[in-house]
């Protein structure tokens, strides 16, 4: 009887998870602003609120970094290099003999038109605060 109960609980749990997943997919697919709806769902599921009194920190090679300039540079380096690393990884999987020329040729073949350059501008803490304040007001009105 106990094994039947455990098996039933597993089936019920997976059924509930599937129903929730389908419900969230339906909400997102019917939404006009899919990103906002997805963020709202994630927010409701995690039940987390942003705490503006906390400083952003990142563990970089075992050190907790709080310096905003170093944090921004770290994120920039990561996102600037992730594409190249991913392409190299894919090509290595397909071809063990990877040379820089073949990787560059792969990029030329895949991307016929060049990407527009990313232009990053420095912003002040005040600008970020104002954007965050505006976003919080939109969230209050939206909920």
Co-location of 113 and 69 in the same domain: yes
| Mean model confidence pLDDT for the chain | 76
Choose among 79, 83, 82, 81: nearest CA to 107: 83
- Give the confidence band of 143 by pLDDT, cuts at 50, 70, 90: very low
Rounded distance, CA 114 to CA 98, Å? 23
pLDDT score of 135 more than 80: no
Do 31 and 75 share a domain, yes or no?
Answer: no
Q: Are residues 64 and 95 in the same domain?
A: yes
Cα atoms found within 13 Å of the Cα of residue 59, Cβ hemisphere only? 1
| Paired tokens of 27 | 């909400």
Contact at 8 Å (CB) between 37 and 31? yes
Kindly state whether residues 70 and 31 are assigned to the same domain: no
pLDDT recorded at residue 118 = 73
User: Are 10 and 59 members of one domain?
Assistant: no
CB 88 within 8 A of CB 103: yes
Residues 70-125: tens digit of each pLDDT: 888 888 888 878 877 777 777 676 665 545 556 666 666 766 666 667 777 788 88
């Amino acid at each position: 009887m106990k094994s039947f109960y455990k098996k039933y609980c597993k089936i019920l749990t997976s059924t509930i998870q599937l129903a929730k997943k389908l419900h969230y997919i339906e909400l997102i697919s019917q939404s006009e602003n899919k990103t906002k709806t997805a963020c709202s769902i994630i927010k409701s599921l995690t039940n987390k609120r942003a705490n503006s009194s906390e400083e952003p920190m990142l563990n970089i090679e075992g050190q907790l970094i709080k310096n905003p300039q170093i944090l921004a540079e770290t994120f920039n380096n990561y996102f600037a290099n992730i594409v190249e690393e991913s392409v190299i990884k894919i090509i290595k999987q397909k071809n063990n003999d990877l040379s820089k020329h073949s990787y560059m040729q792969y990029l030329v073949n895949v991307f016929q038109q060049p990407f527009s350059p990313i232009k990053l501008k420095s912003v002040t803490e005040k600008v970020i605060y104002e954007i965050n304040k505006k976003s919080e007001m939109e969230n209050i009105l939206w909920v």
